[in-house]
Amino acid sequence: MVIEAFAPAKINLTLHVTGQRADGYHELDSLVMLTDVGDRLEVRHAPVTRLSVVGPMAEGVPTDSGNLVVQAADRLGVSAQITLHKSLPAMAGIGGGSSDGAAAIRALCKLHGLPRPNRDELLSLGADVPVCMEPNLVRMRGIGEKIERLDASPDWPMILVNPRVSVSTPHVFAAMKARGNPLMPNEFPDWQNFEAALKWLGAQRNDMQEAAIQLQPVIGQVLAQLSQTEGCALARMSGSGATCFAIYETAAARDLALDELHRQHPDWWCVATRRCGSRFS
């Protein structure tokens, strides 16, 4: 029996850094969406766990206990032959490794007939793993343990762009000038009203963006170029970077912008996307 699971890219539509705990972890307030582009896992019964990684982004991805997919099997106390089809860039601010770990949990629980771990157990794998189990729009607070489902699935045309540079999350935190920034408002817009939703999002922030641009100025170039494309309603960095996203008024405008990016920057990773929808399992 083969069980498949999709590991979607995670976008931080907002990312407010609101404090730092005594243990060094940072407190966050973030609006998170999973998309319809991502990695794919296949799991099969096996006497011992073995992971193979294939696909366009497979190079350099660990296949041992350094990978959250292997750690997920160990935490569940099961074994499997796992194939990871890697399409997302690593260390890119879109939760690729965490989403892989979450997908492995879902697939392995189904393969072995196990209940899914609780949120604390998921958090022990990584701060972004719990949110990668949520298919709809969510507000994530604390270090990732406080998740509020917003019962909304806005379906906006979007582009993801990574200029193929890596950004170290600890280095971005170290470069930040302020870590005690304001929370998001507690009142959310009507997510089905595009104009109201984008006005609300535009008033929010990614508090890591400025520091990431200092470390990798090309991120600023990506954001400037996305902002200048016709029909772009919002361009912002996701997570600690270097991936940026843009939300468009129409799919046609998004597709024209994507064609332009491919022509001008064939070396960049640029993909069209929208919410995860039915692909999530």
Active site residues: 10, 128
CA 210 to CA 223: how far, in whole Å?
11
Q: How far apart are CA 14 and CA 181, in angstroms?
A: 13
CB–CB of 37/88 below 8 Å?
yes
What is d(CA 241, CA 92) in angstroms, rounded to the nearest whole number? 5
Token pair, residue 17, equals: 């850094």
Q: At what angle do helices 96-112 and 68-76 cross, to 10 degrees?
A: 30
Q: Where are the beta strands (DSSP E) in 79-149?
A: 80-85, 138-142, 146-149
Residues 6+ apart with CB under 8 A from 186: none
